[in-house]
Amino acid sequence: MAADSMEIDDALYSRQRYVLGDTAMQKMAQSHVFLSGIGGLGVEIAKNIILAGVKALTVHDTKQCTKWDLGINFFIHEDDISSQRNRAEATLHRIAELNPYVHVAASVVPLDETTDLSFLKQYQCVILTEVSLLLQKKINDFCHAQQPPIKFISADVYGVCSRLFCDFGDEFEVVDTTGEEPKEIFISNITQSNPGIVTCLENHPHRLETGQFLTFREVNGMSCLNGSTHQITVVSPYSFSIGDTSDMEPYLHGGIAVQVKTPKMFYFERLEKQITNPLCLVADFSKPEAPLQIHIAMLALSHFQENFGRGPNIGCLQDAEEMLKIAMSISETLENKPQVNADVVKWLSRTAQGFLTPLAAAIGGIASQEVLKAVTGKFSPLQQWLYIDMLDIVTPLEKMGSEEFLPRGDRYDALRACIGDSLCQKLHDLNIFLVGCGAIGCEMLKNFALLGVGTGQDKGLVTITDPDLIEKSNLNRQFLFRPHHIQKPKSYTAAEATLNINPYLKIDSYINKVCPATESTYSDEFYTKQDVIVTALDNIEARRYIDSRCVANLRPLIDSGTMGTKGHTEVIVPHLTESYNSHRDPPEEEIPFCTLKSFPAAIEHTIQWARDKFESSFSHKPSLFNKFWQTYASAEEVLQRIKSGESLEGCFHVIKTLSRRPRSWTQCVELARVKFEKYFSHKALQLLHSFPLDTRLKDGSLFWQSPKRPPFPVKFEFKDPLHYGFIVSTAKLFATVYCVPFTEKDFSEETILKIISAVKVPEFRPSNKVVQTDETARKPDHIPVSSEDERNAIFQLEKSILSNEALENDLQMKPISFEKDDDSNGHMDFITAASNLRAKMYNIEPADRFKTKRIAGKIIPAIATATAAVSGLVALELIKVVGGYSADAYKNCFLNLAIPIMVFTETAEVRRTEIRNGLSFTIWDRWTVYGKEDFTLLDFINAVREKYGIEPTMVVQGVKMLYVPVMPGHIKRLKLTMQKLVKPSADKKYVDLTVSFAPETDGEEDLPGPPVRYYFVQEDN
């Protein structure tokens, strides 16, 4: 099948399509991949690439399932061990279930130095895990020599160290190195000079890089630039040069520069050569030497395995010494003769028999993305090594005896070999609260199950919550869910699936949102019982709220998130680090009201306009209509009240809606046709009436110049699919909200044409309405109703009553909630048609339904590779939190698998605010005051003064001002009891208040202190 004619299942792949694009998706769906080694790392890679949607995957393994595998492979169960199944055969049907479009086969034949490798020619990519270095070299040589080369990837996790290596052949062309949308830059000036300098609109930095290519359009004056492509040199954040423009016509106004994506060639060396002179990606810039040090240590491990036919024994110092000698001699053979880090070698030797599953999740996610790059040519490949180590976890365990790390014959032996038994027990006894069971949530639960979190005999519990139901689009990333789970609650389903991985996990699942409304469930008492909170959320507000609850209850929080191939992790530890709320993400830029209403300049503006129209016409107005008629019993009552001079809120708009209510399919189509004329013809004519094309501003410049685009009326053409699509989708939505029945026959072209031909379209009459041009102006809340409008409303309502068109059924509408993923409901049909018609009116490049859906639905692009990597990194930090590590052990991470880049940074140390006389506090501090029943506000203020030596000037409870001396009546409050002021619920034992105090210097603002927890009765002390 031709690559460009393949149908993509959007219901399944929609979020991933926004990451990879259709061309890459189609290439991937034709690729055959071979994966050797289905242990803890291999199963991670298999999961991710099957979810992504390659055509076929062969999983190869020659080992039998053992008890050890239960702690590292989430698809191996206890009956696989008792049946002595091969690992590939045991996992085959479980990984195949992840995606019905992928053909998965198992191979159990030996793969060694004697194997004829010609069978690999059928694959586009070969991945090796758990394969000796000698055999890796042999297979890599074979793959590199093919024409075209077979893309080669090898990956391994040994104890606390991991490595990834890529070789995609001598030359590998990448079509799109970043996956970012091509930038569009609005131009304010171009100089006539050599080189010509292009300046962008003020406050809109171009964010380009020297060497990139741009093409120009809509330039007035210097019009020979239009359609031409130029390589640019960045001059400043707001300007760049494009070569000689001195012979061109002078620039007048307007113009858009659009980034042109150009293919880039990447060059690779074979494994044999790269071993002696490795090219490594540095992930932790505080340790730039680390990749080479781990490179030597892992080479020493390979030599040790070859020399002794085994790996170094767990915790064995003699083996560590032997490996150190090997490392020293290897260093001499490398080109730069790098220094050997004895600690890295020692810890690798001590833990190499073990396996750190979260590290496998992290490196597996990254490796899987490299597989997708190999078969699609999308995104920049890794050149050529990546090393990640977790020495931060083991260094504090230095003093533990070797018996801590020895096997006990259970499923946690691989983990125990890395972190010791004491830390394993702490994980088992952990109470953890996971908020969100989406993509990251599912991956986290898998990590918890393999680590044995919440499996302690007497202690330990995993609590999860998520209010959402499973949808088909979730199955592409949320790997605990299957097609038969669709429309079931995520949390209950995820809990059940997690027990399949580890049946000893204790798990409580809820379907509540975590928000102020559910504080009776997720109370302070609930938080105090938790050891750690982990968030797996997709919005900032929820993160902020949970962070504030963690700070109030002194609980550690680990946050993470992804967007496409990008991801982040953040560790928040009481008394050590800043909190999530300590740093503010920049607010999302809002499109100015006047831009949306009258002056769109980009397709995003027309899509948002169409989305707003949908909300207003089919959701907001019907809701207000229903609310009004729930307040007033009948139309007759309303008529009587407004006749007697009463002003009823919203009554004018409600009566207008009632009097124009369509009562048949024909009237719905007529209404849609009238709306077409209003939106796409009359609107343009009105704007050109208010601002003719030759209108000039006070400074003499043209009103209609970039970014303002003059509109031109769209003439209705029945045969234009866009016009016809708008009529049908709009009529369908009107019929739904007005409860008008319709059938399939009503959608026939013949029926629609017959109705439209008879419609009398109102002629355009210009009005003198003022058009808002101020970009800072906000949408007005209420548009005043004139007395003429009120008289008209009385007349219309009387008419409706007399015509028997204000009966009980007429006083109800059916509001519609926007649903982007249901193609049968017509919601996206309306938004796509309306947006593209408005784009046509303003001469803006239209967008296809796919792009429109992403913008209108505010869809966050997502892919399983990034999700898996991020959740692995979170679980690694969790181990440190549980171990009570010092501040310098924790690492936050930002990654972008597309580029690829991975940056580990130390957490931000908590800031301490000095008050005076040695009195200071941080966000984690809390003062306490114990009261009694008749304790007054004055008593409270005196208690704070006596206990902490400061004079409170203001007392605040949340957003409620309890005491601000300058406010009227507040001085009288000093005599009121705290009970009366705060009004606590019966079960509330305390309240958290914020107290401000006077600064040392007059004229400065009052300073806020830490929260003061006021207990209503003394006995709680």
**Mind telling me the catalytic residues?**
594
The answer to whether 927 and 1009 are in contact (CB under 8 A) is yes
Strands 233-236 and 239-241: antiparallel
- Beta strands 507-510 and 461-465 are parallel
265, 380 Cβ separation under 8 angstroms: no
Angular region, 452: left φ>0, alpha ψ -120 to 50, beta rest: left
Cα–Cα distance, 808 to 115 (Å, whole number): 82
User: In what helix (H) or strand (E) does residue 391 lie, and over which residues does it extend?
Assistant: helix 391-394
Cα–Cα nearest to 131, from 121, 145, 118, 117: 117
Cα separation, 704 vs 696, whole angstroms: 8
Task: With residue 107 as reference, give the H or E element that holds it.
Answer: strand 103-107
Give the H or E element holding residue 963: strand 960-963
Rounded-to-integer distance, Cα 212 and Cα 785, Å: 54
- Residue for token digits 């939190």? 881
Task: Summarize the chain as % helix, strand, coil (round to 5).
Answer: 40, 20, 40
Torsion of CA 755, 758, 759, 762, to 10 degrees: 170
- Measured on CA atoms in the order 14, 18, 23, 24, is the torsion positive or negative? negative
Residue 850 burial class via C-beta count within 10 angstroms: exposed 0-12, middle 13-18, buried 19 and up = middle
Q: CA quadruple 723, 729, 735, 738: dihedral positive or negative?
A: negative
- The single-letter code of the amino acid at 563 is M
Contact by Cβ (8 Å): 39, 72:
yes
What secondary structure does DSSP assign to 691-715, as a single string? S-TT-B-TTS-BSS-TT-----PPP
The phi, psi pair for 8, rounded to 5°, reads: -105, 130
Q: Which residues on adjacent β-strands are paired with residue 267?
A: 171
> What does residue 696 show for φ and ψ, rounded to 5 degrees?
-120, 150
Question: Do 163 and 386 meet the contact criterion of CB atoms below 8 Å apart?
Answer: yes
Q: Is 1016 exposed, middle or buried (0-12, 13-18, 19+ CB in 10 A)?
A: buried
Using CA atoms, how far apart are residues 944 and 1011, in angstroms rounded to an integer? 12
| Bridge partners (DSSP) listed for residue 253 | 220
Cα–Cα–Cα angle for 968, 974, 975, nearest 5°? Answer: 120
Q: Is 258 exposed, middle or buried (0-12, 13-18, 19+ CB in 10 A)?
A: middle
335, 318 Cβ separation under 8 angstroms: no
CA distance 390 to 785: 68
- Interacting residues of 314 by C-beta distance below 8 A, sequence separation 6+: 350, 351, 353, 354, 402, 405, 406, 407, 417
- Identify the helix (H) or strand (E) that includes residue 619: none
- The amino acid at 896: N
* Contacts of 507 by beta carbon, 8 Å cutoff, 6+ apart: 454, 461, 462, 463, 464, 495, 498, 499
